[in-house]
Amino acid sequence: MFDKILIANRGEIALRVIRACREMGIQSVAVHSTADSDAMHVRMADEAVCIGPPSSTDSYLNIPAIIAACEITGAQAIHPGYGFLSENAAFVQALEDHDITFIGPTAEHIRVMGDKITAKDTMKKLGVPCVPGSEGGVPDYETAKKVAEDMGFPVIIKATAGGGGKGMKLAKSADDLETAFRTARSEGKANFGNDEVYIEKYLGKPRHIEVQVFGDGKGTAVHLGERDCSLQRRHQKVFEEAPGPCITPEMRAAIGKTCADAVADINYIGAGTIEFLYEDGEFFFIEMNTRLQVEHPVTEAIFGVDLVREQIRVAAGMPMSFGQDDLTINGHAIEVRINAEKLPNFSPCPGKISAYHSPGGLGVRMDSALYNGYSIPPYYDSLIGKLIVHGRDRPEALSRLGRALGELIIDGIDTTTPLFHALLAEDAVQTGDYDIHWLEKWLESNLG
């Protein structure tokens, strides 16, 4: 087992990893920018190293500085959290070159799954169902036009290296296609340095269902059920739950086994999430995230497992502490993402926290790096907390979420908390009867 782990991240996910390390008797090292000198993860870690100025490029994405911090502190492994360098194959390769263990999959698996065309081809070969679409990248508009006409509109054009909704454009008809094609390419080039795009059939009313998988890197893998992440704004998740309200035990077992078998076949190591669009009883693969997800706590809640602890164990060469037969769903869990944003436009709202009170009680977990007097810097993602609730069933979890939201106090800035109060009053949310387009339409009607 490792003696010391460096966490190459910030905020609540850095705290999450630090806590797992402490429970395992492992020393933790926090890295931080000058803007994060007073951050909670810096205060909580056993050691802290400043790696650069506020800009992410010069700090949290600064690979030489992070490796130097490992060498200075004697950290044997790095946990990347999510975001930043968590899916950067070059980073993983650099760590291997310096004999530092990356707590996550191999560089090759990150490379394969990071390119959406390659990922789709790989999953097809492994027996995972995929969305109908172009065979590989689409090099020019004339090819795009032919592919779209053959497939039938509407279609969605996606940058092969895209993510977070960037480089993704809908063409409802032939009239929209050229603009969508050129915009997706330009966004892919600007955000990811790659203008290659591909085309998929656009599904009318799908849900976003993702399957949590975990492998030991030696040909053994399990699935930990699914999460429904259909409530999204601009392709960004805001409300996640497990198990999915529309997924039957039979469906769960079938798609879960398909996913577990696929990652076992490629000797995948650590946590991964295989994401699908689900419509009319069918699953269609869209991408695989080769890291811990923001919404991993809902899976932990219903299975009673610590995914970060498990990541550390398998990275150290230890066997998984559970098998498929040990994993039984207990109840229902929901997570809402609390962002420092001002409604109705969701504009970033950094600033000083004048009062903070975390909700508590049975079945309530608040993952946040906030504290009274903390100043949220303007340089990073606006996520400032995740409120997770667990109940015996979905109605109890929803009721508990309403109670916990009522207890949460974050003064001094605007947050998205009022959005969740409003959503809980909606019949569609109470019944779970929504798709990935529902929230956008609701926001247009209620906050537009």
What gap in Å lies between CA 94 and CA 77, rounded to an integer? 12
Helix (H, G, I), strand (E, B) or coil at 215: strand
Long-range CB pairs of 324-331, under 8 A, 24+ apart, other chains included: 324/222, 324/223, 324/260, 327/222, 327/224, 327/225, 327/303, 328/303, 329/225, 329/243, 329/302, 329/303, 330/302, 330/303, 330/304, 331/301, 331/302, 331/390, 331/391, 331/392, 331/393, 331/396, 331/397
For residue 239, which phi and psi values (nearest 5 degrees)? Answer: -145, 120
Integer Cα distance of 388 and 391 in angstroms: 10
Q: CA nearest 156: which of 131, 139, 119? A: 131
C-alpha distance across the termini of the chain, in Å: 53
Give the DSSP H/E element, type plus range, for residue 254.
Answer: helix 249-265
Q: Are 60 and 84 in contact (CB under 8 A)?
A: yes
Dihedral sign for Cα 261, 265, 270, 275, please.
Answer: negative
Tokens linked to 242:
């497990």
How far is 304 from 219, CA to CA, in rounded Å?
24
Catalytic residue among 291, 313, 337, 400: 291
Within 13 Å, how many C-alpha atoms sit on residue 16's CB side? 29
Determine the 3-state secondary structure of 320 from DSSP.
coil
Specify the 3-state DSSP secondary structure of 349.
Answer: coil
The neighbour count for residue 108, using CB atoms within 10 Å, is: 12
Nearest to 30 by CA among 2, 9, 56, 1: 9
Q: Is 291 a catalytic residue?
A: yes
Count H helices and E strands in the chain, helices first: 15, 22
Give all strands of the β-sheet with 77-79 in edge-to-edge order.
47-52, 27-33, 4-7, 77-79, 101-102
CA 91 – CA 93 distance, rounded (Å): 5
Q: Are 104 and 311 in contact (CB under 8 A)?
A: yes
Catalytically annotated residues: 291
